[in-house]
Chains A and B, each alone.
Chain A
Amino acid sequence: MHDADALLAIGAMAILTYATRAGGFLVMSMVPLSPRLEAFLRHLSGSVLVAIIFPAAVTSGPAAILAILAAVLVMHRTRNALFAMTAGIGLAALLRAWF
């Protein structure tokens, strides 16, 4: 890719990506915040995470699924994210080394 094209492509990506970041704030600033909308947004935060994690884990294979389950379990018991992440990632590394 030529330098000028690269610069243009990166600029376009940067602007579009910023629009996706600011767009959520902008739209919410224009609609009145009813209790029902606030409840929707509250449920949205957990649901975004599930919608990212679940399909990605399922399509990444058994080691990934077990790793995520281990991370959730350790997090549930210890409330320590670093510990839980290490457990999940370590388990994935072990499973992939063994099988």
Chain B
Amino acid sequence: MERAVITWRGMGSGARRLIAVGVYAFIFGVAFGIAARNVGMAGWAATLMSATVFAGGSQFAVLELWQSPVAWGPLLIATLAVNGRHFLLGASLYPWLRSLPAWQIYLAAVLLSEPNWARAIEAQARGERDVGVLVGGGILLWVAWVAGTVAGAGFIDLSPEHFRRFGLDLVFLAFLSCMLTGLRRGRADDLAWLAAGLTALAAMAVLPPGWHILAGAVAGGVVGVVVDARR
């Protein structure tokens, strides 16, 4: 297999492919900044969190726990549960970038999130070798997310009701659905995906928040391998 590379050109292309999603990441950043302000989190803390954690779901989740004294157990477990899915994103992408130097792989890991991962999987399926797609897309999302947080924690005011009214709560679901549609290679996928969806839905009822994604994804992966083996 041809070796993976990271080029400036690839990074530019990765950023361009996520401009629309970046606009929404900015809006979500604003929402996070406002929500953080409403629970009494200082502007510097919200900004620092967005810059270093860079994972919206977990950041919103811990706002419920932002109190004194700190509930360390729930805070850390919530972070792990909501972000555990990154583990699967990384694992599924590894064959594509394994020929890169380790420092590049683990630096790129800082920027791993769904939208740029989805674009990377798409690039891999097209036979592209430039991991810059992942890095450039990630940088764009990071800048948008942090800038949004600064704006929301500082001066913009919007209510969650506005988000719902304009369907903005569905932006990331809609984007991921589009990526999924592009990933479908044939009937073999359908059975795996059916298993993933049903397992995740069932697991949501019995597992603590967040873990259903891992359960569903692993079920889908296993069913996919079995289906492949039987053909």
A, B from the same assembly: yes
Residues of A within 8 A of B (CB): 1-3, 5-14, 16-18, 20-25, 27-29, 33, 36, 38-60, 63-64, 67-68, 71-72, 75-76, 79, 81-82, 84-85, 88-93, 96-97
Q: Are A43 and B224 in contact (CB under 8 A)?
A: yes
Majority secondary structure of chain B interface residues (helix, strand, loop or mixed): helix
Q: Are B86 and A17 in contact (CB under 8 A)?
A: yes
Q: Which of A51, A63, A90 has the most CB of B within 10 A?
A: A51
Give the size of the chain B interface in residues (CB under 8 angstroms). 94
Residues of B within 8 A of A42 (CB): 92, 224
Partner of A88, one of B92, B170, B182, B228: B170
Partner of B48, one of A10, A27, A51, A97: A10
Residues of A within 8 A of B13 (CB): none
Q: Are B67 and A53 in contact (CB under 8 A)?
A: no
Residues of A within 8 A of B228 (CB): 39, 43
Q: Are A49 and B180 in contact (CB under 8 A)?
A: yes
21 A-B interface contacts by CB (under 8 A): A7-B48, A10-B45, A17-B53, A17-B58, A21-B112, A23-B87, A39-B225, A44-B220, A46-B192, A47-B217, A47-B224, A49-B177, A50-B197, A51-B212, A55-B197, A58-B201, A79-B182, A81-B20, A85-B178, A89-B167, A97-B165
Q: Are B182 and A6 in contact (CB under 8 A)?
A: no
Q: Are B224 and A39 in contact (CB under 8 A)?
A: yes
Count CB-based A-B contacts (< 8 Å): 284
Q: Are B66 and A16 in contact (CB under 8 A)?
A: no
Task: Using CB atoms, name the residue of chain A closest to B17.
Answer: A81
Q: Are B220 and A43 in contact (CB under 8 A)?
A: yes
A86, chain B: closest CB distance, angstroms: 9
Residues of A within 8 A of B156 (CB): none
Q: Which of A45, A55, A79 has the most CB of B within 10 A?
A: A45
Task: Tell me which residues from 131 to 189 in chain B have a Cβ below 8 Å from any Cβ of chain A.
Answer: 164-171, 173-184, 189
Cα separation A6 to B45 with both chains bound (whole Å)? 7
Besides the known contacts A13-B75, A51-B216, 20 further A-B residue pairs in the complex with CB atoms under 8 A apart: A1-B66, A3-B42, A10-B49, A13-B53, A20-B86, A43-B189, A43-B224, A44-B92, A44-B218, A46-B220, A47-B193, A48-B85, A50-B200, A51-B212, A53-B177, A71-B177, A81-B20, A81-B175, A84-B177, A88-B174
Q: Are A49 and B118 in contact (CB under 8 A)?
A: yes
Task: Tell me which residues from 32 to 56 in chain B have a Cβ below 8 Å from any Cβ of chain A.
Answer: 40-42, 45, 48-49, 52-55
Cα separation A48 to B152 with both chains bound (whole Å)? 30
A60, chain B: closest CB distance, angstroms: 7
Cα separation A3 to B48 with both chains bound (whole Å)? 12
Residues of B within 8 A of A82 (CB): 20
Cα separation A9 to B43 with both chains bound (whole Å)? 15
